[in-house]
Amino acid sequence: MALSAQQILRSFNSIKLSSFINATQLTKRFPRPGKTWLQSSSAWPQMSCDNCFLQWGFKTYRTSSLWNSSQSTNSSRQENNSAQSTPLPLANEQSEKTQKMPCFDSDLTLEELDDLPPLSPLQPLSEEEAIQIVADPLLPPDSFTLRDYVDHSETLQKLVLLGVDLSKIEKHPDAANFLLRLDFEKDIKQILLFLKDLGLEDNQLGPFLTKNYAIFSEDLENLKIRVTYLQSKNFSKADIAQMVRNAPFLLNFSVERLDNRLGFFQKELELNVKKTRDLVVRLPRLLTGSLEPVKENMKVYRLELGFNHNEIQHMITRIPKMLTANKRKLTETFDYVHNVMSIPHHIIVKFPQVFNTRLFKIKERHLFLTYLGRAQYDPAKPNYISLEKLVSIPDEIFCEEIAKTSVQDFEKFLKSL
């Protein structure tokens, strides 16, 4: 009577896999005419093999034994000696062995054997096999830092080698999950090659990607279309590379947005095409940031500070940062320069960098010149001191050429304030 598939599996799992393999090897080494596999089972030695085949109808089963080569060699020698010296089993011993072994009938088809489930993971292991199992460390289910995942992620490892600061990226809530899902070859490599072709150097990729890791979510074709648009507006390759470095999110915006921004500055400031292009090359954040500070500052210059349109146009083309400067800083600087130092509008327009200077530096130097009797800012009078020299040169040159004194005297004066 044929055994069912479940009975075969239950019987097979009850016997160690290594014993079957050893028996197979033994019958191959010592073939005996007329002797069956069951009859030779009494001479099974203890040994292991990595890839052996059972010859009684099952598909290939593999053993996971990890015996070293010296043990295998010794076992093989013992095997030869045992096979030669061990007498043939008695008939009653063979009968007992036969009763213990399962009997497999030929009625069980190969298709049914194929459907048998694999060996149970609960198959018992020897102590030597168990201690040699090496398990990889598990990924932490959650973490507050990307550092815990670097050893497990090829993508993160390569980003670190590029100079990306993961400690800054992980401060963004969804950044970590986004990066961990990326494949370097599929999602990152082509973007890096695109940035290199655009003009970014190797040492610039890290800082760029630290600020704009979201560029990996952009379609490469869309990025190329935006570059093509800028080129159609006569921005040179060097101009585009400079703009991308200084405004990392520039290429994340659509062509429609870029076109609207260029049109806004050209119309609002009444600039020609070349001056508009030069303006955004020097300050590309004008294309990516909010327009509200720009509109507010334009009102401040015109209504609160009293500059006319041509004066505003001249100043912002010289110092583009005046469009995005802090409103409070602008008004405080103008109030001190115009009302305390008595410098008129037309002179301030010629030296707009005064709005880009820290107010305490202007105060310190003006007070020192006043103390020395040299605070003269009228170009029509002798010993004239321009605003450019007042705010731009270092202390050593200021003391030597403007104040006509030593740096030590200037430092002593500052301590008395």
pLDDT, one tens digit per residue, over 156-173 is: 888 888 888 888 887 777
In SS3 terms, 324-343 reads as: CCCHHHHHHHHHHHHHHCCC
Token pair 């301030």: residue: 348
pLDDT in the model for residue 66: 37
The tokens describing 263, both together, are 């049109």
| CA 395 – CA 416 distance, rounded (Å) | 17
Min mean pLDDT across 4-8, 65-69, 70-74, 375-379 is at 65-69
By CB atoms closer than 10 A (0-12, 13-18, 19+), residue 86 is exposed
Higher pLDDT, 85 or 296: 296
Q: What is the pLDDT of residue 343?
A: 95
pLDDT tens digit string along 331-372?
999 999 999 999 999 999 999 999 999 999 999 999 999 999
What does 161-196 look like in DSSP terms, one character per residue? HHT--HHHHTTSTTHHHHHHT--IIIIIHHHHHHHH
**Which among 26, 32, 39, 41 has a CA at the least distance from the CA of 91?**
39
pTM of the shown model = 0.61
Q: What is the pLDDT of residue 78?
A: 46
Instruction: Work out the average pLDDT over 2-23.
Output: 46
Say how far apart CA 64 and CA 18 lie, in whole Å: 9
Find out whether 252 and 290 touch, Cβ atoms under 8 Å: no
* Residue pLDDT, tens place only, 105-129: 445 555 555 565 555 666 676 777 7
- Find all residues with CB under 8 Å of 28, minimum gap 6, and list them: none
